[in-house]
Amino acid sequence: MNITHKILLIFILLTGCNTITSEIPNVPVDIYIYPSQPLYFELNTIGGWMYINGGVRGIIIYRKSLNEFIALERNCSFDPFEECATVYVDQSNIFATDSCCQSQFLLLDGQVVNPPAAIPLKQYNTYYDGNMLHVYNF
Q: What is the pLDDT of residues 48-93, one digit of tens each?
A: 999 999 999 999 999 999 999 999 999 999 999 999 999 999 999 9
Tens of pLDDT, residue by residue over 28-54, are 999 999 999 999 999 999 999 999 999
Instruction: Between 91 and 7, name the one with better pLDDT.
Output: 91
User: Range of 35's domain?
Assistant: 22-136
Q: Give me the pLDDT at residue 138, please.
A: 85
**Cα distance between residue 102 and residue 16, in whole Å:** 19
Asked if residue 15 is part of any domain, the answer here is no
Answer yes or no: is pLDDT of 13 > 90: no
Q: Give me the pLDDT at residue 3, please.
A: 58
Say how many CA atoms lie within 13 Å of 119 toward its Cβ: 17
Per the structure, how many domains does the chain have?
A: 1
Contact 103, 4 (CB under 8 A): no
Answer yes or no: is pLDDT of 10 > 60: no
Cα 104 from chain centroid (whole Å): 10
Answer yes or no: is pLDDT of 17 > 80: no
Listed residue (110, 94, 91, 113) closest to 102, CA to CA: 113
Query: 123: part of which helix (H) or strand (E)?
Result: strand 123-128
For residue 74, give the CATH number of its domain.
2.102.10.10
Distinct helix (H) and strand (E) counts, the chain? 1, 10
User: Across the chain, what does the average pLDDT equal?
Assistant: 88
Q: What is the pTM of this model?
A: 0.83
Residue 45 contacts by C-beta under 8 Å, 6 or more apart in sequence? Answer: 63
Q: Give me the pLDDT at residue 14, please.
A: 42
How large is the C-alpha radius of gyration of the chain? Answer: 17
Asked if residue 12 is part of any domain, the answer here is no
Asked if residue 17 is part of any domain, the answer here is no
